[in-house]
Every structure is written in structure tokens, then in C-alpha cells.
Amino acid sequence: MKKRKLWLPAAFILFAVILNITGRVCRPFTDFYVTYIFPLWAATYGRVTGTFPFSVGEWMLYLAVVMSFVLAFGGAVYGTFRKKLPDKWKRIYKKYAFFYYWIFGIVCVIMTLNCFLLYQSSPISERYQIGAGQGREYGISEITLVRDYVVEQANALSVTFDRDEKGYLVYPASFTDEAKAQMQRLGEKFDVLSGYYPDPKGLAISGFYSQQYIMGYYFPFSMEANYNRQMYLTNIPVTMCHELSHLKGFIREDEANFIGYLACVDSGDPLFRYSAYLSVIGYLDRDFFRAVGEDSEVYLSHPVINDLVVEDRKFLTQETWEKVEDNAVLKTETVKQAADAFLDTTLTLNGVEDGRISYSRVVDLLLQYYDGILY
């Protein structure tokens, strides 16, 4: 293999490294990229992958696993039986390894452009005016008002839906068009959210993602927003909007949670509004309980989350969980621990030091948003 050819994939990897370093040391560069360059990928490449009725990224991921297994297995065979292998098989393995090397270099660039760089951009609260307050701090009175408001809205909506004999919501409507419409409406407030959106796609093999407690997935290498088809109905609208926000450069999970909430909470569809309230009620309730010093008497003097809301916050129904466990290859506990460790590591490496806990920072954004509305 010529050295010149070996350096070509290395150039891709080096380019990805330089981009990552530049993004970390020069925020104006990443802000310009996220605002003006990144949206082009969804509007072009995203349109292509969006024409497929299935998640291209999901199958790319499975292909990558198979390719990595073949590389590792072939490497073990090559290393063990190198002297005995025919020259033909040696050449085949070397060509395959070089091909894998090429793919790896390209993936490094794509992941940098469509994911890693986005973490280095300015937070949404610095890029846009959120609420009437300017840099003020919020305390127990504000979190109480927001928490009580969300609880009251969720309680009121919970009794308006049709339910089956098990108490599960019955709602036959499709959510795709409304999710895209609400995101485009939100583009009037946050200009970067305007423009084209592909259809959110259900994951084909949702069981494995259910074991990880994953509601949705953004695939940077296919520019697709995906959601877990096995989820309970109330999770789907806000998850669709959450994942679509990643396609517009909002990669931080607290910001995607916030945008998903805003997109759904003003919808004319009551299930979208209900989905919005359910998506943040747990974060708000937990922070409120901590704010009152975990005083049960004070806590119970405020609106209590009713039983229907508690039930509707489920991730999967009991029947779905049973199917997931019956079809599982690995134990859910093992899969969940591995997924949590991977996610924490990924977030930390991209500058999100508190890892998965960062999801709950949506409360800070909600306190800013309701400044001028509730207080």
C-alpha cells in the first residue's frame, strides 16, 4: 500500500481534530458554523435520507457494528494464522482494513461537523432573548409558580382524553405533521429553527433502545430524527420535537428539552400540550421539593400531581416491557448501565461536565421563559 494512500484517511482524521480544537478555543467560529453552515446539511443531505421510509442512520449503525466485528475477527485470524494464510486472503484482509480506515476517517469528520462542534456553540440563552428577565437569578417563589402551573395544566388535561379498559390513552392521530408544523412555528421566535424538516422516523429495532430507556435518537451521520416506536403515547410528540431540534444545531439535551417543550405547549393538539407538560413535570417537581427543604407538609400544600398524570408519565406500558424482556438478548440492567456510561462519557468529552444530569437544566430555561408570564 502506497504511503500517499495511507495518509489520505489520516488527513480526514487530522482535519476532524483541528476542527474540534478550533471549536473549543474559538466560540465565534462555532457560532457562525451552527448558524449559517450546519443548517445546510439538513436542507440537502437530510432531504436525501429523508426520502427513505426507514431510518438510514439506524441501519448505518448496525452496519458499523458488523464491519467492526469483521475487522476484529479478521485481525485475530490474520495475527494468529498469518504464516499459514494464502496470500490472496492476506490481500483481501489488508484491503478491507484500509477500506475501514477510510470509513473511519470520513466518520470522524461527519461526527465533528454534525455533532461535536455543536456542543461548543453559545448556549441558547446567550443567542436569544428568553423571557423578560436579563441575567436575573430565580429562587423558590419562581420555581413554585412554574411547578404549580405545569402541574395544574397537566392535571386538567389528563381527564380529557379517551382511555381503554386499562386506562391507557386512546389517540389514533398521527403526530409527524404536527411536530414539523410546531417546530416551524417556533422558527418565528428562534430563526434558526425555521426551514425544512424531514419526517421523524420510528426506530425499527426499538426493543434494544427501550432497554437503554432511550426515547429518541439523532443520527449525525444521516441527519435524521428518530423516536422509539415502543414508547407510551404521551412521550412521542415532545420526543419528535426534541430530536428535530438537534437537526437545527441545538445539540445540548437541556436545550433540546426546552425546545421540545415550547414546540408542543402551544399546539392546538391537546396531546402535544399534555406531552410537553409531562416532559418537564418531573424535573420541576424534584427541584421544587428540594427548594422547600424536602418539607412534606409544605410540598403537600401545593397542587398535587394526580394519579392519571403519574400513570401517563410511564416510559413503556407493562405489556410492552414484557415483550422487550422476552425478546432481549442481554439483560436490561446490563444494557442500561453500558448506555449510561457511554452517554456520560460522550457528554463529558464534549464539555458537558455534569453528563446526563444536564438534561434537568431545562428547569433554568423554563424559569427564564416564564419570566414576564407567571411573575
For the stretch 267-277, pLDDT in tens is 999 999 999 99
Q: What's the pLDDT score for residue 76?
A: 93
CB 110 within 8 A of CB 221: yes
Kind plus residue range of the DSSP H or E element containing 202: strand 201-202
Q: What is the pTM of this model?
A: 0.89
- Return the C-alpha cell found at 192: 434558526
Chain-centre distance of CA 279, in angstroms?
A: 13
Q: What's the pLDDT score for residue 356?
A: 41
22-30: average pLDDT = 95
Q: What's the pLDDT score for residue 51?
A: 94
88-104: average pLDDT = 92
32-56: average pLDDT = 94
Confidence of residue 4 (pLDDT cuts 50, 70, 90): low
Confidence of residue 174 (pLDDT cuts 50, 70, 90): confident
* φ/ψ (deg, to 5) at 227: -135, 155
Give SS3 for 361: helix
77-104: average pLDDT = 90
Q: Model confidence over 237-256: pLDDT tens digits?
A: 999 999 999 999 999 999 99
- Report the alpha-carbon distance of residue 267 to residue 175 in Å, rounded: 11
- Return the C-alpha cell found at 268: 392546538
Q: What's the pLDDT score for residue 358?
A: 39
One-letter amino acid of 172: P
What is the share, in percent, of the chain residues with pLDDT greater than 70? 91
Give the Cβ contact number of residue 129 at 10 Å: 10
Partners of 166 in the β-ladder: none
147-157: average pLDDT = 98
Q: Domain ranges in the chain?
A: 3-120, 133-369
- Report the alpha-carbon distance of residue 297 to residue 187 in Å, rounded: 43
For the stretch 143-169, what's the b/e string if a residue is b when 16 or more beta carbons lie within 10 angstroms of its beta carbon?
bbbbbebbbebbbebbeebeeeeeebb
CA-closest candidate to residue 207, choices 51, 327, 370:
327
- Return the C-alpha cell found at 230: 415502543
Confidence of residue 359 (pLDDT cuts 50, 70, 90): very low
- Flag whether pLDDT at 357 surpasses 50: no
Give the Cβ contact number of residue 113 at 10 Å: 19
Confidence of residue 348 (pLDDT cuts 50, 70, 90): low
CB 108 within 8 A of CB 11: no
Q: Model confidence over 209-230: pLDDT tens digits?
A: 999 899 999 999 999 999 999 9
Q: What's the pLDDT score for residue 83?
A: 84
- Flag whether pLDDT at 3 surpasses 60: no
Q: Distances from the Cα of 202 to the Cαs of 32, 54, 57, 114, in angstroms? A: 32, 8, 11, 21
Confidence of residue 354 (pLDDT cuts 50, 70, 90): very low
- Flag whether pLDDT at 353 surpasses 70: no
36-62: average pLDDT = 94
Strand-by-strand arrangement of the 201-202 sheet = 201-202, 224-227, 216-219
- Report the alpha-carbon distance of residue 145 to residue 134 in Å, rounded: 19
Instruction: Round the average pLDDT of the chain to a whole number and report it.
Output: 91
Give SS3 for 225: strand
130-146: average pLDDT = 87
CB 291 within 8 A of CB 146: no
Q: Model confidence over 275-284: pLDDT tens digits?
A: 999 999 999 9
